Structure 1
Amino acid sequence: MSLYNDLKPITLYDIPSQRGAWSLNTVKTHFCLGYKGLPFNTEWVEYPDIAPKMQQLGADPVTTDPNRQVKYTLPVIYDPNQSRFVTDSFKIAEYLEETYPDPERPLFPHGSVVLAAGFENAFDSCIDGAHYWVLCDVPSMLNPRSAQYFLKTRSEWLKVDKLIDISSPGSEQRTKHENVMRKGLGLFEGWMKKSKGKWIMGDTFSFADIAIAAQFFWYMRVMPPTDWEKINGWRGDGLKWEQVVIDVANECNVKLDTTPPTPAS
């Protein structure tokens, strides 16, 4: 039973799609809230509405650097129990841990905040650049307004005529991205073999497991089934990477759709 059943529900601002929850970073917050047993509601915000909505609410930007293209992004939470907005998935996890401590269900057990941040960055470095492969497929599952916004802004930022140009099927770039992804996941699997338990910290669940599961959930939700099944099979222990998502979703009591999209007929 949760320690916090009497709280007012926290609001999680998330980006909608034709397949429900999908975003890498907002899914981390879904998992964190579920794991802590905190009541929450989801408010969906289309891509072009994120900046004006967050400015109107008074939420902090993700950065104040004038050279960064994205100033406002999701996830953002509003906690009515503390009258506070928090931006950024990692900062949200830290906030939830500090504000709603639960010795039975810590996100950062044994003071592992720094280790969790380092592990997440290390995993990202393993597959650096390969995310362009996934990025190309995002517009196909967004709602029309968000899809148009995503295509326009990402093409401008990446300086390509069409977003698909960064990793089009059959191109040298796609082959490079696939090779980087496969090599990176092989390195990650080697790390996992050093764990003596089910989770990254052995028998102890942590935010590091959430961060990795969110990555695989993103691939699962966004990519065409043939591409996802290719990645899903790049695991050498007889299991598939989707099991990471299923295990974390179960541990966090979060009922996300963990089935890949149905191929078009």
Structure 2
Amino acid sequence: MSSPIVFYDIPGKHPKYNAWSPNTWKTRYALAFKGLPFKTEYVEYPDIEALCKKIGAKPTDTKKDGSPHYTFPVIYDPNTKTVVEDSLNIARYLDKTYPDTPRLFPDNTHVLQNAFLAASGSAVMMPLFTVVILATCNNLNPRSEEYFRRTREVSFSKALEDFVPAGEEGAKRWKEVEEGFDKIASWFTDSDQSGPFVMGNIPSYADVDLASRLIWAKVVLGEDSEGWGKIKQWSGGRWEQHLKLMEKYENLA
């Protein structure tokens, strides 16, 4: 490998973590885990579609009106002249293209890891999304903040402030987030494995996925916030410890 991979990400306003998106963090962790040199090009939300079309990145979804939806993460690998979109596709590409680096999906683990990704996402993603979406919007730079708010409010048919639960409903939603994380924690404690990772002592893409959700909450809520204070104490402190174990892969290049 002679040239660094170009990694496209969305900037935020956090003084330390310019990166914030859980989806792009999956790729950031993956690149660092594999020890592959890369450089980040930050792109504001309103400019993502034009950039993707320019470099030949495919849409990853369809909007309500049927038009293509372009999202990050996206990478351009100058060594193979390849553009790849979507965090899971990127992880698989990196394993296939650079097999002599640490594997995100060790042999014969794809099915089990995919099952874990689906189950863990179902357990925590939507409840977590609802309690951090406003903080996510507030963490963005002005052009991205306006775009994010406008497009999400059209999608939800309500203001973001009305989408985020408050009072008793807010407490209920936070309880759902906690129960989701406790459910995932039980998968670890109900097993006989001795290591802290999904596969025991060896980190894998499943751990990248978990860490990406956690660092998203940590960055947008704030390290000293009440919300992050709750999360890092749940499940006997497992989630704060998980992020600490993954710190070595927090490459902000």
State the TM-score, normalizing by the size of structure 2: 0.90
Distance 1:121 1:68, change over 3 A: farther
Residue from 157, 162, 166 that aligns with 1:165? 162
CA pair 242-90 structure 1, distance change in 2 beyond 3 A = same
4+ runs deviating over 3 angstroms: 64-70
Change (3 A) 1:219 1:230: same
Query: 1:259 aligns to what?
Result: none
Distance 1:72 1:40 in 2: 22
2:174 pairs with 1:175: no
* Maintained 8 Å contact 1:16/1:44: yes
Match of residue 8 from structure 1:
3
CA distance, structure 2, for counterparts of residue 37 and residue 93 of structure 1: 13
Decide whether aligned partners of structure 1 residues 165 and 65 sit closer, same or farther in structure 2, where only a CA change above 3 A counts. closer
If asked which structure has higher relative contact order (CA below 8 Å, sep 6+), I would say 2
- 1:135 positional shift: 1.1
Q: Are the counterparts in 2 of residues 7 and 39 from structure 1 also a CA contact under 8 Å?
A: no
Aligned position for 1:233: 233
CA shift in 2, pair 1:128/1:31, >3 Å: closer
C-alpha deviation, 1:181, in angstroms: 0.4
Counterparts of 1:23 and 1:185 in 2: how far apart (Å)? Answer: 19
> Could you tell me how far apart the structure 1 residues matched to 2:67 and 2:213 are?
23
Aligned length: 245
Higher normalized helix content (fraction of residues) = 2
Alpha carbons 2:62, 2:68 under 8 Å: kept: no
1:119 and 2:116 correspond: yes
User: Structure 1: how far apart are the matches of 2:85 and 2:243?
Assistant: 24
What fraction of aligned residue pairs are identical, expressed as a percent? 39
Helix, strand or coil: the match of 2:8?
Answer: strand
Q: What SS does structure 1 have at the residue aligned with 2:61?
A: coil
1:249 to 230, 236, 247: 247
Distance 1:68 1:157 in 2: 13
2:184 to 169, 181, 188: 188
How far apart, in 1, do the equivalents of 2:246 and 2:208 lie? 7
The equivalent residue for 1:260 is none
Instruction: Find the aligned partners of 2:68 and 2:228 in 1 and give their Cα distance.
Output: 28
Task: Note the C-alpha offset of 1:105.
Answer: 1.3
CA RMSD in angstroms comes to 1.9
1:163-203 alpha-carbon deviations (Å, 9 max, x no partner): 0211143252x223212101111111111212321211112
Paired amino acid for 1:233: Q
Name the aligned partner's letter for residue 4 of structure 2: P
* Contact 1:69–1:157 under 8 Å retained in 2: no
Q: Is the 8 A contact 1:31 1:249 kept in 2?
A: no
5+ residue gaps, structure 2: none
- 2:201 aligns to what SS in structure 1? coil
TM-score when normalising by structure 1: 0.87
Q: Which of 17, 29, 32 pairs up with 2:30?
A: 32
Task: Call closer, same or farther: CA 1:255–1:64 in 2, change over 3 Å.
Answer: closer
Structure 1 counterpart of 2:21, from 19, 23, 39: 23
Distance 1:55 1:39, change over 3 A: same
Q: Is 2:13–2:140's contact at 8 Å kept on the other side of the alignment? A: yes
Structure 1: tracts of 5 or more residues without a match: 1-5, 257-265
- CA apart distance, 1:242: 1.9
Q: How does 1:62-77 map to 2 (within 5 A)?
A: 62-63=60-61, 71-77=69-75
Seen in structure 2, the aligned counterparts of structure 1 residues 67 and 242 have a Cα distance that, compared at 3 Å, is farther
CA distance in 2, matches of 1:233, 1:44: 32
Tell me the distance in 2 between the aligned counterparts of 1:41 and 1:216. 23
Secondary structure of the residue aligned to 2:246 is helix
* d(CA) in 1 for partners of 2:33, 2:20: 18
Give the counterpart of 2:97 among 89, 99, 102.
99
Shift of 1:246: 1.8
